[in-house]
Amino acid sequence: MNSLDLVREEFKPYRYTLVNTATIIDSSSGRLVLKKENKDLFHLFNYLESRGFDNFPKVIKNFGDRDLLYEYIDDYNPINEQKLLDLESVISSLHNKTVFFKSTNIDNYKEIRDVVLENINFLEYNYNLLFKEVISHEFMNPSQYLFARNFFSIKRAINYCRENIHKWYDLANNNNHERVSVVHNNLALEHFLSDGNKTALISWDKYTIDTPVLDIVNLYHKEYLNYDFSEFLSKYLQHFELKDHEKLLLFVLLRMPLLCPELKFTVEDTGRVREVLDYVFKSEALIRPYDTPQE
């Protein structure tokens, strides 16, 4: 008997709705969600509860083989700007309640530095190729002109990242312990629900144990076009105080330009060029207050 058959037997559902990989079940006991996870989330949730963190859907039943039956949480918050700040409160709580130090060595820091430098060099090479292609035209179309006019803003961001990943390495390699925590690793506003009584993160199937800054970077990449992150970042740094080298790594990862390999610089590509440039300008403005010496 599979998990859905067991749900039928125990909860007597009267309607099923398939949403992506989950089945929403309406029953006399209320609305439930049945989902097969690709990781052992049951034990993760037990661990999180033991750390005093309960911002995830309550597990009603564990069927084994990673089939979990959850409570259903409606999302009633219509103001996404406020929802973003509520998410900050939850994610800083997750990091604070699960953070610990693990042993590390200089080779691990070298590996991180080298991976970041490889990405920086890849970005620089590809954006240089795009620039050479654009300026080879005697007459530029709007997307080409927009890119060429702002190309050195992209270069400035790349130079910032290269300079500061070396600074990060000089700071970090003196530490033989690294701070890590449970990282949700799939943050987005659509994965944060609030029904007025409970706030919960869903879609935990990509969770990992790593540096907490990954959650902030992943969320920013998904939501930067829609929201101002200045208050979010300010509150996060107040609630979860990063070490100097952790903060520097965060800023490098945030400033690194996004690569847009689909750019062909037709007239229709103006919007896509604007997305690339918006990321460069917004991330620079976001980090500038922390790079400017305060009186």
Q: Tell me, what CATH number does 188's domain have?
A: 3.90.1200
pLDDT at 287: 96
Tokens 């990943």, located at residue: 165
Backbone angles phi, psi at 241, to 5 degrees: -75, 120
- In this structure, the answer to whether residues 26 and 85 fall within a common structural domain is no
Structure tokens at 287: 């980090």
Centre a 10 Å sphere on the Cβ of residue 294 and count the other Cβ atoms it contains: 5
pLDDT at 183: 98
The residue among 38, 72, 106 that closes a domain is: 72
The domain of 8 spans 3-72
- In this structure, the answer to whether residues 95 and 68 fall within a common structural domain is no
pLDDT at 293: 53
pLDDT at 1: 65
pTM, two decimals, is 0.90
pLDDT digits (tens, 9 = 90+) for 48-98: 999 999 999 999 988 877 789 999 988 876 678 889 999 999 999 999 999
One pLDDT digit (tens) per residue for the chain, 295 residues: 688 888 888 888 889 888 888 889 998 888 899 998 888 899 999 999 999 999 999 999 888 777 899 999 888 766 788 899 999 999 999 999 999 999 999 999 999 999 999 999 999 998 998 899 889 988 888 888 999 999 999 999 999 999 999 999 999 998 899 999 999 999 999 999 988 788 999 999 999 999 999 999 999 999 998 999 999 999 999 999 999 999 999 999 999 998 765 666 666 678 888 888 999 999 999 999 998 654 3
pLDDT at 267: 61
Structure tokens at 171: 């700071």
Q: Nearest CA to 225 among 280, 270, 183? A: 280
- In this structure, the answer to whether residues 66 and 99 fall within a common structural domain is no
Burial 164-180 (b: 16+ CB within 10 A, else e): bbeebbebbbeeeebbb
- In this structure, the answer to whether residues 273 and 129 fall within a common structural domain is yes
pLDDT digits (tens, 9 = 90+) for 259-290: 765 666 666 678 888 888 999 999 999 999 99
- In this structure, the answer to whether residues 65 and 107 fall within a common structural domain is no
Chain-centroid distance of CA 225 in Å reads: 14
pLDDT at 295: 36
- In this structure, the answer to whether residues 107 and 246 fall within a common structural domain is yes
Length of the chain: 295
- In this structure, the answer to whether residues 29 and 125 fall within a common structural domain is no
Number of domains in the chain: 2
The residue among 22, 47, 72 that closes a domain is: 72
- In this structure, the answer to whether residues 278 and 176 fall within a common structural domain is yes
**DSSP E strands, the chain:** 13-19, 22-27, 30-36, 59-64, 67-71, 100-103, 177-183, 192-194, 199-201, 208-210
CATH (domain of 55): 3.30.200.20
- In this structure, the answer to whether residues 133 and 154 fall within a common structural domain is yes
The residue among 72, 99, 126 that closes a domain is: 72
In angstroms, rounded to a whole number, what is the distance separating the alpha carbons of residues 295 and 290?
A: 12
Structure tokens at 284: 């620079």
In angstroms, rounded to a whole number, what is the distance separating the alpha carbons of residues 16 and 33?
A: 10
Q: Nearest CA to 67 among 15, 8, 2? A: 2
- In this structure, the answer to whether residues 55 and 189 fall within a common structural domain is no
- In this structure, the answer to whether residues 188 and 267 fall within a common structural domain is yes
- In this structure, the answer to whether residues 283 and 149 fall within a common structural domain is yes
pLDDT at 125: 92
